[in-house]
Amino acid sequence: MAGIRMENKIYEVGMYCRLSKDDGTDNESASIATQKSILTDYVKKQGWHLAKTYVDDGYSGTNFQRPSFQNMIKDIESGLINCVITKDLSRLGRNYLDCGLYLEVFFPEHNVRYIAVNDGVDTLNKSAMDITPFRNILNEMYSADVSVKIKSAYRARFQQGKFMGTTAPYGYVKDPADHNHLLIDDKVAHVVREIFDLALAGNGIAKIRKHINKQHILRPAAYAAEQGATGYERYFEENEENRYIWSENSVRGILRSPIYAGNLAGYKRIAANMKSKKRPSKLPEEWEVIPDTHEGIVTQEEFDTVQQLITSRRLPENKGGFENIFAGVIKCADCGYAMRAMSANRRKRPDIIDCVQYSCNNYGRYGNIMCTAHSIEARDLFNAVLTDINRFADMAVNDEKAVRAIEKRLTETDQSKAKALEKEQRKLNKRLAELDRLFSSLYEDKVMERITERNFEMMSGKYQKEQLEIEARLKEVTETLSDSYEKTQGVRDFLSLIRNYQGIKELDATIINALIDKILVSEREKLTDGMVRQKIKIYYKFIGFVGELHITPTKRWTALKPKNCTVCGVEYVPRSGISKYCPACAKKIQREKSNESKRRSRERNRQACIELSAKNDRLRMDRWWILDEDNKQDCI
């Protein structure tokens, strides 16, 4: 066997070289070529045999799952090498726990000698090994420091609104003049637009996916591969048709991403620390978002509406085929649960909306121990909402005086409150400026020895406490004022929006989702005059709740059109779709049918009695004949 005997030991050397991006590309002293040169010279001078060279170029020292390093471990386990050398200890790795495991456990167990040439580390030199753990800790501290610096640089660029991804998201391309800026990709932007339009129309993710798949459109991964991105072809190797099969996750990812509203989203998955490779996903509301970094494919209002629809777990159509345009919007006023659309199969109506009523889902699940039904006819809800929308639309277009009255009513309280808050804000800012001057004066008195150290600490502590309290209150006041200003602007935005819906005759999910945040339905209440009334609260976009609607619930049978009685010809409103008679004739016919039924019943009973009597007579005759025959036998 080739090799030089040293201390009665023959060494087959494995030479290991590593370079990561963190080490820099301009550092010649750490380059792979430099490491090979140093280690080769060292092996030659020792007269040892170089069994194999292992190189990991572009791999971090904090991770030991490197291809060549793992190959070296396998060769050690198979006995091919019994000595490992590196340029320095950091080339082996920068995780002090794993480095210590290899140096103090794995290498000794496999009779492998380890040498770090520049650091003077040699596992045969016990005194040099005493300081080795501290070297490993310093190497890991270096990695941790580099990691913090890189993360800080990335975060700074992210907060500047720079896109840091390798490839642009579906629907966008990188700006040729600035790769950290996104431009709309006109080739597929219409697909993204269509997905959002379908969602705004009340369609669920599964339904949108089926619609897109029918159009035979390249899925995002396939489109990225077509544009030259690498790493996607493995999804289509077995079945080429997979290029056109969208998944629900692809649709959901587009609908959830703030990118399409013109905002940069990041830090969706963050590792706990440098050593952990697990990156748990965060909820969309926990993502960090930088607004207005590029042109959006959809508006912010459309994006926000879609998020609301997704989180409300909508059911846009029930089993009876009724299109539930209020899904995700209508709620129980008492328990807050969603209200379900229920088909009443016993009703026979020409329009399906007249066969449906809404009822509290909480009541439907658990009964009256949790809530009450809060039932409302779908037709009543539809008519009430349509009328209210038209009322506001007409007002916004034709009645400027009423518009100003509503604006004043909605913002009057906020404006008076805002004035008081603005006054308090000025007062707080003035006091903060005074405290700054007091601190400056107090420090000057301390330097000039006009006051003692003890008095300085006491006074500065008092001022600092007051300063913190003022800053906290000032932040609260500022946020409240901001909300007040937004509400004032919201009234104008709402009136500008609702003008577009003047004179509408029908409602659909798109209109409902564009104008309304939620609808609260109260339980029916019976008034002293015997009438039944039901309250509805509509919370509009931008302005919230304006005023209650009071409706008289429709009796279920009044939804049908009048018809003529087939007996007397009088016009009446039927209670069911199969009704043929007016109430008066119906009672008369019912009475006649009842009398006829009773007559038939009596006739059936009389006939049964006759048949029973005849049967008894036959039985008696049969019995007499048998007795008579017995008497004849006795006489013989």
What is the pLDDT confidence band of residue 108, given thresholds at 50, 70 and 90?
Answer: confident
Highest mean pLDDT among 474-488, 576-590, 615-629: 576-590
Element (DSSP H or E) covering residue 290: strand 288-290
Q: pLDDT value at position 513? A: 84
Percent of the chain with pLDDT over 70: 79
Pairing relation of β-strands 113-116 and 83-86?
A: parallel
- Whether the pLDDT of residue 54 is over 90: the answer is yes
- Whether the pLDDT of residue 169 is over 70: the answer is yes
CA angle 529, 534, 540 (to 5 degrees): 145
- What type of residue sits at position 378? A
488 vs 589, higher pLDDT: 589
**Annotated catalytic residue within 20, 60, 90, 579:** 20
- Whether the pLDDT of residue 227 is over 90: the answer is no
Distances (CA, A) of 333 to 126, 359, 543: 78, 11, 19
Element (DSSP H or E) covering residue 49: strand 49-57
Give the predicted TM-score (pTM) of the model: 0.47
Q: pLDDT value at position 517? A: 86
Mean pLDDT of 104-133: 80
560 vs 593, higher pLDDT: 593
Q: pLDDT value at position 485? A: 63
Q: pLDDT value at position 138? A: 60
Pairing relation of β-strands 83-86 and 12-19?
A: parallel
Pairing relation of β-strands 49-57 and 12-19?
A: parallel
Each residue of 260-313: pLDDT tens digit? 999 888 777 666 555 555 656 667 777 788 888 889 999 988 888 888 877 765
Mean pLDDT, all residues of the chain: 80
Mean pLDDT of 319-326: 74
What is the pLDDT confidence band of residue 1, given thresholds at 50, 70 and 90?
Answer: very low
Mean pLDDT of 610-632: 70
Percent of the chain with pLDDT over 90: 12
Instruction: State both tokens at 334.
Output: 């008492």
Distances (CA, A) of 433 to 95, 427, 463, 481: 50, 10, 12, 21
Q: pLDDT value at position 558? A: 64
Mean pLDDT of 358-376: 87
Each residue of 412-439: pLDDT tens digit? 545 566 677 778 888 888 888 888 888 7
Instruction: State both tokens at 14.
Output: 């494995």
- Whether the pLDDT of residue 482 is over 80: the answer is no
Q: pLDDT value at position 70? A: 92
Q: pLDDT value at position 83? A: 93
| Residue carrying structure tokens 């038939």 | 600
Q: pLDDT value at position 5? A: 40
Mean pLDDT of 587-616: 85
Mean pLDDT of 177-197: 90
Annotated active-site residue 143? The verdict is no
558 vs 447, higher pLDDT: 447
Lowest mean pLDDT among 103-107, 239-243, 522-526: 239-243
- Whether the pLDDT of residue 244 is over 60: the answer is yes
Q: Alpha-carbon distance 353 to 323, whole Å?
A: 9
Q: pLDDT value at position 479? A: 73
- Closest to 254 measured CA to CA, from 200, 300, 196: 196
Highest mean pLDDT among 214-218, 318-322, 367-371, 628-632: 214-218
Q: pLDDT value at position 73? A: 92
